[in-house]
Amino acid sequence: MKVSTQIIINALLDTLYMVSISLIFGAILGFILGIVLVVTRKGHILENKIIFSIVNPVVNTLRSIPFIILLVAIIPFTRLLVGTAIGTTAAIVPLVLHIGPYISRLIENSLLEVDEGIIEAAKAMGASPFQIIHKFLLPEAFPSLILSVTTATIGLIGATAMAGAVGGGGLGDVAITYGYQRFDNVTILVTVVLLVVLVQIIQSIGNTIERKLRRVA
Amino acid sequence: MIEFINTTKEFHVGQATVKALNHINLTIQKGDIFGVIGFSGAGKSTLLRTVNLLEEPTSGEVLVNGKNLTKLSKKQLREEKKNIGMIFQHFNLLHSKTVFDNVAMPLVLSGANKSKIAAQVQEVLTFVGLQDKAHRFIDELSGGQKQRVGIARALITKPTILLCDEATSALDPQTTKSILALLKRVNSEYGITILMITHEMEVIRDICNRVAVMENGQIIEEDNVLHIFSAPKQDTTKNFVQSVVRNEIPQSVYEQLNVIDGSKRIYNMKFIGVDVGQPVVSQVAKKFAVDVNVLFGNITELQGIPFGHLIVELVGSATEIQKAFLYIQSKNIHMEEVVAHEGEHTDYHQRTVGYAVHG
Ligand SMILES: Nc1ncnc2c1ncn2[C@@H]1O[C@H](COP(=O)(O)OP(=O)(O)OP(=O)(O)O)[C@@H](O)[C@H]1O
Ligand SMILES: [Mg+2]
């Protein structure tokens, strides 16, 4: 049996929905955790051993759980949060928990790349810790942060393919149910092409913005 | 004015303790361009950083205009830091922002309004000669221009003190000169006290009026620049002075001593703050029956005062040479006879009466 174009379009929209919503929440979570991981570390502007030694292992733990397991393991939590454990919206909860810590590590790396001299200059000017983060660290790391978010977005597209396991829908789900289980090679091909195109578009948007920000020709 | 009173700073690295500052006592007067020189690891940066509390002293005090900054609240400290500008070896500017936004930053942090910011940025950019570069990004500037931006940013809050950590070490000699000239204007036009650290004696020579030499976390010598250059006491100080004022006597002069007969003597004339060279030399030749040959010379300028030495050969009878010698000394010129040395050492016998030091 042939998959209708409508199904593919709906799946694409589901994917875009899951990716964008979980990206927004994941990025918020990731930025907060990433900044906390940087500024509370030893010798940094808000050094705090307790907070760092809590956040750091939590992020590591979430990062080490394979997404497909996380998806299933947190079903009770998902139900508590969004009232259901199946469907596109329900898939967003594990996607956020998956991508948030991942983004936090990328953000952490980007912020650590900022020259220490910048922080030194900021302190010499009498900047508060909040101002150092907001006016110095984030703007200086911005191009690199854009690349981090781009990488995370592409990771999310991969993860949404598994959302089918909780009835999340999306392109990956269509490829598995119609293509893999029903030997529909055309569907596999179409969804794969769509995913590739999607990834390419996102990557080149990210690269373009980053290059603009870095002002390289 | 900056006062270090028994200032000590220790760093703990693993089990070891590094005493970066060991009981520093030092006063930098208002209006000084005060240089601190020393080899790598001497503690110069640490000293500078205790002034604006980038490093907090382990013990002792640092008073800035009479205030101990560690006693202030966070808010007061932020206010006080506007009074202390700082520039850095690697400029530490924001690459994501334009020249204008970099310079404006200290005012933005304190919530100044836009029109005030624009006017003040314009003023300091004009002062440093970058008024036409306001909308450039940092990466589009040369090293010297970047340091000018750094200076403009430091001046925007109208500080009374400017701290310079190796501000010219990343620049070529030509650019270094122009930045030093700018810093001199910062001092003379705005009356800003400058504390600068460096490992280059040229920098001290070119703009400082006082200098302290640091070694192993201690000040081993401190004086006005003329004194340090003319009579360095510690070996380290001597080494630094020698790096710009080549005081040693060239081998060729010693070789001349080997062929000397009774009618010649070689002297090393040191000039500090007196008319250099020709007048004295030509007067001696006129007044006495001696010929004066200049064998070697090295004159530089310290704070507008000529400074250096000439090696001269006096040819004539012993009594005329002695008269000429006394005459030159009466002009307050420090004069030593160059005598043959044993082995490779270049010590020479001293016959000194007094010499004048100004400053
Ligand atoms: N944050 C730090 N942690 C541990 N040790 C430090 C720290 N900062 C400085 N030190 C040590 O303190 C000593 C003095 O360092 P400082 O940076 O003040 O020297 P310096 O005279 O400025 O040298 P340089 O010319 O290389 O800049 C050195 O032994 C250095 O290793
Ligand atoms: Mg240093």
Chain B residues with at least one Cβ partner in A under 8 Å: 52, 54, 74, 77-82, 84, 86, 88, 90-97, 105-106, 108-110, 137, 139, 153, 157, 163
Instruction: Output the pLDDT for position B358.
Output: 37
For range A161-169, the mean pLDDT: 77
Work out the mean pLDDT of chain A and round it to a whole number.
90
Q: Quick check: A139 and B54 CB within 8 A?
A: no
Pocket test for ligand 1, best of B45, B55, B166 (most atoms within 8 A of CB): B45
Position A215 pLDDT exceeds 90: no
pLDDT attached to residue B328: 83
Residue nearest to atom 7 of ligand 1 (CA): B11
Judge contact between A98 and A27, C-beta under 8 A: no
User: Ligand 1 atom 6: the closest Cα is on which residue?
Assistant: B11
**Can you give the length of chain A in residues?**
217
Structure tokens at A99: 């991508």
Which ligand 1 atom is at minimum distance from the Cα of B38? 21
Return the pLDDT at B276: 54
> Which residues in chain B touch residue A143, judged by CB atoms under 8 angstroms apart?
96
Residue A180 clears pLDDT 90, i.e. is over it: no
CB contact under 8 A, B94 and A142: no
> Residue B355 pLDDT more than 50?
no
Q: For residue range B308-346, what is the model confidence (pLDDT) as tens digits? A: 788 888 888 888 888 888 888 887 788 888 877 654 444
CA atoms of B91 and B86, how far apart (whole Å): 10
Q: Which fold has domain A5-214?
A: MetI-like fold (1.10.3720)
- Look at B248 and B78; give whichever has higher pLDDT: B78
Nearest ligand 1 atom to alpha carbon B48: 18
Specify burial of residue B318 (Cβ count, 10 A radius: 0-12, 13-18, 19+).
Answer: exposed
Q: Which atom of ligand 1 is nearest to the CA of B12?
A: 4
Query: Which residues of chain B have a CB within 8 Å of the CB of A115?
Result: 90, 92
Type of residue at A17 = Y
Strands (E), chain B: 2-13, 16-28, 33-38, 59-64, 67-68, 84-88, 161-165, 193-198, 210-215, 218-224, 264-272, 291-302, 305-315, 334-337
The pTM assigned to this predicted structure is 0.85
Q: B55 phi and psi, to 5 degrees?
A: -125, 135
Which residue among A125, A142, A215 places its CB closest to the CB of B109? A125
pLDDT band at B352 (very low <50, low <70, confident <90, very high): very low
Q: For residue A146, which residues of chain B lie inside 8 Å, CB to CB?
A: none
| CATH of the domain spanning B2-244, picked from 1.10.10.10, 3.40.50.620, 3.40.50.300, 3.90.850.10 | 3.40.50.300
CB contact under 8 Å between A117 and B92, yes or no, is yes
Q: Which of B155, B188, B150, B193 is nearest to B171 (CA)?
A: B150
Between CA A208 and CA B9 the distance in angstroms is 48
pLDDT at A170: 86
Lowest-pLDDT choice from A156-160, B96-100, B202-206, B284-288: B284-288
Domain positions in chain B are 2-244, 251-352
> How far is ligand 1, taken at its centre, from the CA of residue B119, in Å?
39
Q: Tell me, what's the pLDDT at B316?
A: 86
Q: Which atom of ligand 1 lies closest to the CA of B166?
A: 27
How far apart CA B337 and CA B321 sit, in angstroms, is: 12
User: Which tens digit of pLDDT belongs to each residue from A4-46?
Assistant: 788 889 989 999 999 999 999 999 999 999 999 999 999 999 9
On the question of pLDDT at B12 being above 60, the answer is: yes
Q: Do A78 and A22 meet the contact criterion of CB atoms below 8 Å apart?
A: no
| Cβ-Cβ contacts under 8 Å for A188 (sequence gap 6 or more) | A175, A179, A180
- Percent of chain B clearing pLDDT 90 (strictly above): 62
Q: What is the pLDDT of residue B346?
A: 40
Task: Answer with the residue of higher pLDDT: B48 or B262.
Answer: B48
Q: Which of A123, A126, A140 shows the shortest C-beta gap to B94?
A: A140
Q: Which of A100, A88, A125, A111 is nearest to A35 (CA)?
A: A111
pLDDT at B275: 58
Degrees, nearest 5: CA angle B149-B155-B161: 125
Cα-to-centroid distance, B43 and ligand 1 (Å): 6
Give the tokens for residue A211. 């290059």
When pLDDT is averaged across residues B263-291 and rounded to a whole number, the result is: 77
Q: Which fold has domain B251-352?
A: Alpha-Beta Plaits (3.30.70)
State the pLDDT confidence band at B154, using cuts at 50, 70 and 90. Answer: very high
Residue B357 in this model has a pLDDT that exceeds 80 = no
In sequence order, what DSSP letters do the residues of B106-164 get, joined into one string? HHHHTT--HHHHHHHHHHHHHHHT-GGGTTSBGGGS-HHHHHHHHHHHHHTT--SEEEE
A&B contacts, CB < 8 Å: 58
Q: Which residue has the higher pLDDT, B168 or B326?
A: B168
Distance from CA of A162 to the nearest CA of B (A): 39
What is the mean predicted confidence (pLDDT) over B197-210? 93
